[in-house]
Amino acid sequence: MLTCRELTEIVTEYLERRLSLRDRLRFQMHVGMCFACRRYLRQMRQVMRILGRMPDVPPPTDFREEMLRRFRDWQGRARGLPPAKA
């Protein structure tokens, strides 16, 4: 059976129907027995519904670079490195 952490890592694949039959059954078995993960699955379904109704607006041009910088900083902190300079 999946752990709660494993379930959260594959919830998107489950909702997009990209899991193998075996993994889908493991996912459903866990959700059937875990209240917290059932609630999480409901929340993720709601997020996907809301995002699906949002207009397709391109992000500002510097958005991608800023997000990449923040992600690198986050990874660096996880490894004990100082933040990158902007």
Percentage, residues of the chain above pLDDT 70:
88
| 17 Ramachandran zone, left/alpha/beta (phi>0; psi -120 to 50) | left
For residue 9, pLDDT beyond 80: yes
pLDDT of 46 reads 96
Q: What is the fold of 4-78?
A: Arc Repressor Mutant, subunit A (1.10.10)
Structure tokens given for 13: 């694949």
If we measure between CA atoms, which residue out of 20, 18, 14, 19 comes closest to residue 38? 14
Q: Can you tell me the mean pLDDT for 35-44?
A: 98
DSSP state for residue 81 in the 8-state scheme: P
Task: Tell me the domain boundaries of the chain.
Answer: 4-78
